[in-house]
Amino acid sequence: MGLRYRKHATTLPGKPDIVFVRARVVVFCDGDFWHGRNWESCKEKLGKGMNADYWVQKIAYNIERDQRNTKLLQDTGWTVIRLWETDIKFDPPAAAAYIRNVVDENRKARQLMSNSAPLDLLGNANEIR
């Protein structure tokens, strides 16, 4: 799709899988089990298995950590995309198109912000001399 990106940015919270620096977009490809997709039914199944306390706590912690990292990134101006593993596998072109749309929109918005001249109180653009 012609997009430039970085993988596994260790300097950002949560180490996003894909980072679009200029557009300020990060993408996480979350595994269904490890990140708690359908958590209520999964928790019930885990509760019946071996070492249930460990696994329930482990996945619950992962969910909380993901929420914390998402908030940290959003609070510092990043747009966060989280995609589930099975959704990506089911329709990779749809996942890629969604990412592409978000990246394009962010780029346009950031470009508009950087190109706009400051307004005075009457709403007139100030000239830079």
What CATH code is carried by the domain that includes residue 48? 3.40.960.10
101-122 in b/e form (b: 16+ CB < 10 A) is: ebbeebbeeeeeeeeeeeeeee
Looking at the chain, which runs of residues are DSSP E strands? 6-7, 18-20, 25-30, 79-84
46 vs 15: which has the higher pLDDT: 15
pLDDT at 49: 80
Give residue 125's pLDDT band: very low, low, confident or very high (50, 70, 90). Answer: very low
* pTM of the full structure: 0.82
Q: Which amino acid is at 85?
A: E
Total domains present in the chain: 1
- Evaluate whether residue 65 is within a structural domain: yes
- Evaluate whether residue 103 is within a structural domain: yes
Residue 20 lies in domain:
6-115
- Evaluate whether residue 52 is within a structural domain: yes
Sheet containing 18-20: give its strands across.
6-7, 18-20, 25-30, 79-84
Q: 56-107 pLDDT, tens per residue?
A: 999 999 999 999 999 999 999 999 999 999 999 999 999 999 999 999 999 9
pLDDT at 46: 84
